[in-house]
Chains A and B, each alone.
Chain A
């Protein structure tokens, strides 16, 4: 199934594709997975805030937005927050090598709560919720703490909560009761309420450093998490390790490619040379396709890519073996090449289809790096069919010419294996 009847047209198209590929490769750096760039990946699963409460798509959406805001606030470029399934989020933070820090930052419930004293079940004094909380927060800001020095968090509640807070403080002032401010279920301060807070604006003091106050403000402004979260997976890689891995994989890939080229030329001679060119086209096009489609390079993905280089010549090997057979049967060069390609095609098609089936399964059922591997392999298979069939065919026709005599050496055949042409008549009819 020649794509274009005229080999020169095909060649032009391939050249144009190659130039485009090289441009893409030069202009656009590849997206590196965290195992290569160094960084932290966390998978979090939403849990109901209260037992029995359902997780709705809406609350998941809210969770996603808040987590994204928190991650953005960390000031790292190219962070990723991704939905995965119904209840999961994947967070990737390049450059962050301490997952504990990232977890502390992301996992804060971010809930500011005003609590008052109450009696626990055993009669001891506890802090009980007043119903006034940071859920009704309008804004938060870092402010200098004039009284104690250091920094404080200034907050403003919305109107409804402001009224509630006013009523609450009125009551507490009368009874000389303290009010506690909890953040993330942690007691920040428990000042005695000395005056009524009328407008819903106030300050949380607690001798914070600027960083601490800023962090609280960021978390408060991003909002409280509507759902509880649990970290079900985390992985982090230091920058040194990733860099070493890229270096090693690149060398391994280049040497692997070189070995395949040497083997192909050594075994298939002229056809091998053509396959080598097709393989280089394959490598460049595939790499460009990966960058263009934003495929993330992970170590497994690179391994898949390198393996695909070894497998991409499969189609050519099939075809070339067939061409050799056809030559042995006494075909003219042009016919042998055509027959080789046509006859090998069903095998190539069937075998690649099964590979695509496994790719689809890996993609559907896998996570993270497994998905990446599946995508890289599938793209590789598709491009390898193009390069092995179209590019090789065109080059073979162009380089050898359809009517030239068959030089056994160029095909890795013994002279005795090439029958003499059946006569001038059949030679002309073949053109």
Chain B
């Protein structure tokens, strides 16, 4: 038992009974419960992804925004108060010009224009903005955020040249003064390119992470981490499939960004647990403890860290969700969902799977060593 001096401290630590005692949760013993919960988290999403694939015209599991399909989104501020009952009338303006089936939604003017100090800035902007003063008869209304009663977003296929002004004229005739708040239009070539690039980025991210984890840890660690990542990705996509099914929520390029950020965050979490696991495996090697026990130990040692890290990220995200603008709300929601499930998966999926894998191999390994 002649050990180097530095190792003796570790050995002392290893012999410390309190150090070896598993923490508050026994993840490994109840692994099937947790894996079951993991499955239950993604199953509804998968069901709705299948439903969406039957429902959407391009057979996508999600409602794809114009980023991926091409088209135009126009956002107008109406000075008249519009209700759901007015929407068919808005639609008919578009349909009469050959834009069948526009998707029209009423948004909250408060959420969009907020309580920003716009009122006192209006005179200055009117004086400076030469372009604005030139526009047309709507000049006064164009700057009056306070006069906007309803914000409506309209999604159609891409508008042909000059059609926008014709459509706006049609809307004015029926509803009075309107202001174009925002416009986005994406052509079909760019849209399909964005879609391919988004998927490519996701797949590449998976491969690079597997590569890196195999290099820093071992292949089985990498595989278990990726399964956890796929779980997180499926969960977030699933929730958006459900939101798309019931609330017509669409995904755009920012959604891909959110997914990739979640992947980064989730692997972050998993790495911390794995790192501890690897350290403990070395430390406790002589103890001949079952791998599951070491995994449990490592999980509990990193539990506070895992939860606190997610908590701080969620604190900032929740404040963004409730106080930030409408534009990024879905993006932030995807991040919130992903970070929450990312923490869950690194605690309950990645290491339980790894322990299961290792323990299936362990008897053989022990046998060969004894032979």
Contact = CB atoms under 8 A, between A and B. Distances in A.
Contacts of B325: 244-245, 248-249, 299
Given A245-B327, A252-B319, A365 B200 contact: yes
B181 A310 contact: no
A35 B327 contact: yes
Interface residues of B, number: 86
25 contacts: A97-B180, A100-B164, A233-B190, A236-B183, A240-B143, A240-B145, A244-B114, A248-B116, A248-B323, A248-B324, A252-B323, A259-B315, A267-B308, A303-B331, A303-B332, A311-B309, A314-B268, A343-B279, A350-B216, A351-B268, A355-B265, A362-B257, A367-B197, A370-B254, A377-B261
Contacts of A383: none
Contacts of B19: 329
A321 to B, nearest CB: 5
B194 interface: yes
A36 to B, nearest CB: 10
B319 A259 contact: yes
A255 B335 CA distance: 18
B320 A318 contact: no
A285 B254 CA distance: 26
B261 A241 contact: no
Interface string A191-205: 000000000000000
A252 B318 CA distance: 9
B113 interface: yes
Contact of B260 (A101, A243, A358): A358
Contacts of B113: 240-241, 244
Contacts of A96: 131
B320 A358 contact: no
Nearest to B270: A351
B212 A365 contact: no
Contacts of A288: none
Interface string A329-354: 10000000000000100110011111
A178 interface: no
Given A100-B165, A358-B260, A260 B116 contact: no
Contacts of B205: 357-358, 361
A239 B201 contact: no
Nearest to B268: A351
A317 B116 contact: no
Nearest to B275: A347
Interface string B118-137: 10010001000101100100
A409 interface: no
Nearest to A300: B254
A357 B320 contact: no
A357 to B, nearest CB: 5
A366 interface: yes
Contact of B304 (A303, A321, A357): A321
B268 A361 contact: no
Contacts of A346: 275
B116 A347 contact: no
Given A303-B331, A325-B301, A362 B114 contact: no
Contacts of B261: 304, 307, 358, 373, 377
B256 interface: yes
Contact of B201 (A45, A251, A329, A361): A361
Interface of A: 35, 43, 45, 95-101, 230-241, 243-245, 247-249, 251-253, 255-257, 259-260, 263-264, 267, 299-300, 303-304, 306-307, 309-311, 313-314, 317-318, 321, 325, 329, 343, 346-347, 350-355, 357-359, 361-362, 364-370, 373-374, 377
B114 A247 contact: yes
B136 to A, nearest CB: 10
Q: Residue among B118, B129, B131 with the most chain A CB within 10 A? A: B131
Contact of B305 (A245, A259, A310, A318): A318
Contacts of B125: 239
Contacts of B320: 249, 252-253, 256, 303, 306-307
B77 to A, nearest CB: 8
B188 to A, nearest CB: 8
B42 interface: no
Contacts of A257: 316
A370 B131 CA distance: 30
A254 to B, nearest CB: 9
Nearest to A368: B253
B194 to A, nearest CB: 7
Contact of B316 (A99, A241, A310, A374): A310
B117 A318 contact: no
A214 B268 CA distance: 59
B337 to A, nearest CB: 14
Given A238-B180, A240-B118, A248-B114, A300 B316 contact: no
B314 interface: yes
B315 A362 contact: no
Contacts of A309: 316
Contacts of B314: 310
Given A321-B302, A367-B197, 14 more contacts: A45-B190, A234-B183, A238-B182, A240-B118, A241-B181, A244-B113, A249-B324, A306-B320, A310-B315, A311-B309, A314-B268, A318-B309, A365-B201, A374-B257
A251 B323 contact: yes
B135 A361 contact: no
Given A45-B189, A247-B114, A354-B209, A300 B183 contact: no
A329 B17 CA distance: 12
B312 interface: yes
A255 to B, nearest CB: 5
A88 to B, nearest CB: 9
Given A98-B135, A244-B113, A362-B257, A310 B313 contact: yes
Contacts of B265: 311, 355
A97 B164 CA distance: 14
B267 A235 contact: no
Interface string B193-213: 010011011001100110011
A317 B311 CA distance: 11
B185 interface: yes
Contacts of A351: 267-269, 271-272
A424 to B, nearest CB: 20
Nearest to B327: A299
A329 B13 contact: yes
A260 B312 contact: yes
Given A243-B116, A248-B116, A346-B275, A235 B316 contact: no
